[in-house]
Amino acid sequence: MSKNLSNFSEEVCKKAMHRYYKIEPYFKRLESVKEISESTKVPIRALYNWINRYNSDGVTGLIDKARSNKYRINTDEDIKNEYFSTSPLHPCSFRIINFYKIKNFLCSV
């Protein structure tokens, strides 16, 4: 990850600094992670993740990484495209056909 905060938006930088201020008492040995978790209502696991990321990448490590939309929900349009792009004998076609039969039945009731 880039070490320069100027590469990120102001909102993203504020969020990273907000996270740093939450874990700062741990680094100054003023509070334990458990105490910080209780006072800030942030899960302990998240605090440890932030601490590890800060130790490895500094404040920029506290910026959320972009995630792919790997498991997004298929829209009706996606399902129709899948249906028309597969052969009628493809196993996926039968699932899609059954999905639409069930959906149409439930909508008509």
The pTM assigned to this predicted structure is 0.59
52-61 contacts, C-beta under 8 A, 24 or more apart = 54/20, 54/23, 57/1, 57/3, 58/3, 59/5, 59/16, 59/17, 59/20, 60/1, 60/2, 60/3, 60/4, 60/5, 60/8, 60/16, 61/1
Condensed to tens digits (0 to 9), the pLDDT of residues 73-86 reads 666 676 666 656 65
Condensed to tens digits (0 to 9), the pLDDT of residues 34-69 reads 999 999 999 999 999 999 999 999 988 898 887 666
